[in-house]
Chain A
Amino acid sequence: MSDPVQVDGRDRVATIDLSVYGMDAVLKAAYRFSGRCFLHLQTSEPNHILVRMRPKNNESDPDTVIREFFNEMLDQRLRSIISTETACERDLIMAHALSRTNFIQSDLETAEPAEDPRQIATPDKRHAPVA
Chain B
Amino acid sequence: MRLLLEPPFYLPELLAGSAIGGKALTSVDFSDDKIAAMLTEILRASISHSLETQEPLR
Residues of A within 8 A of B (CB): 8-9, 11, 23-24, 27-28, 30-31, 34, 37-43, 52, 54, 56
Q: Which 7 A-B pairs have the closest CB atoms?
A: A38-B36, A41-B9, A34-B44, A31-B47, A27-B47, A23-B57, A38-B40
A56–B9 Cα distance when bound, in Å, is: 20
User: Which chain B positions have C-beta within 8 A of A43?
Assistant: 6
Cβ of B4 within 8 Å of any chain A Cβ, yes or no, is yes
* B43 & A40 in contact (Cβ 8 Å cutoff): yes
* A42-B6 contact, Cβ under 8 Å, with A11-B30, A27-B57: yes
Residues of B within 8 A of A (CB): 1, 3-6, 9, 30-31, 33, 36-37, 39-41, 43-44, 47-48, 50-51, 57-58
Interface residue SS majority, chain A = strand
A37–B5 Cα distance when bound, in Å, is: 18
Nearest Cβ on chain A to B26's Cβ, whole angstroms: 11
Nearest Cβ on chain B to A69's Cβ, whole angstroms: 14
* B3 & A42 in contact (Cβ 8 Å cutoff): yes
Nearest Cβ on chain B to A77's Cβ, whole angstroms: 15
User: Which chain A positions have C-beta within 8 A of B58?
Assistant: 23
**Could you list some 5 contacts between A and B, CB below 8 A?**
A23-B58, A37-B40, A38-B33, A41-B43, A56-B37
* Given A30-B43, A37-B40, A40-B36, 18 extra CB contacts under 8 A: A8-B1, A11-B31, A24-B57, A28-B47, A31-B47, A31-B51, A34-B40, A34-B44, A38-B30, A39-B40, A40-B39, A40-B40, A41-B9, A42-B3, A42-B5, A42-B6, A43-B6, A54-B30
Pick from A23, A28, A30, A52: contact of B30, CB under 8 Å: A52
* A40-B30 contact, Cβ under 8 Å, with A8-B1, A34-B43: yes
A8–B48 Cα distance when bound, in Å, is: 28
